[in-house]
Amino acid sequence: MFKHIVFWRFKDEACGHTKDENMQIVKDGLMGLIGKVPTLITAEVGIDVLHTPASSDMCLVCTFPDKEGFITYRDHPEHQKVLAYIGKVMEERKVIDFYFDR
């Protein structure tokens, strides 16, 4: 199994929306990929509630059958649409990708 985890910090305002509005738009877009990208097994999106200096604003955790399944997801046209929007509204991104045993 392969796991993809992303952390973002968002701009306070972008694309005519507040940070909170943009996080909801991104969350909806990412969760909408379930069932559209066949290799995406699970997806969870979390929005931070503590707002500490070390916190990110949002986290995505996805699982795939293998690295190739992740690459299929990464390159999928529907995912690319969501990524294009994220690129306009985020100010920082951190990611980790790894294999794990079930």
Tens digits of per-residue pLDDT, 12-62? 999 999 999 999 999 999 999 999 999 999 999 999 999 999 999 999 999
Write down the pLDDT at residue 102: 74
Write down the pLDDT at residue 2: 98
Residues 20 and 75: beta-carbon distance below 8 Å = no
Cα distance between residue 39 and residue 7, in whole Å: 21
Q: How many other β-carbons are positioned within 10 Å of the β-carbon of residue 45?
A: 18
Return the residue matching tokens 């070390």. Answer: 54
Write down the pLDDT at residue 36: 97
DSSP H/E element including 48: none
Judge whether residue 71 has pLDDT over 90: yes
28, β-bridge pairs = none
Domains of the chain in start order, with CATH, are 2-99 (3.30.70.100)
Cα distance between residue 83 and residue 78, in whole Å: 9
pTM: 0.95
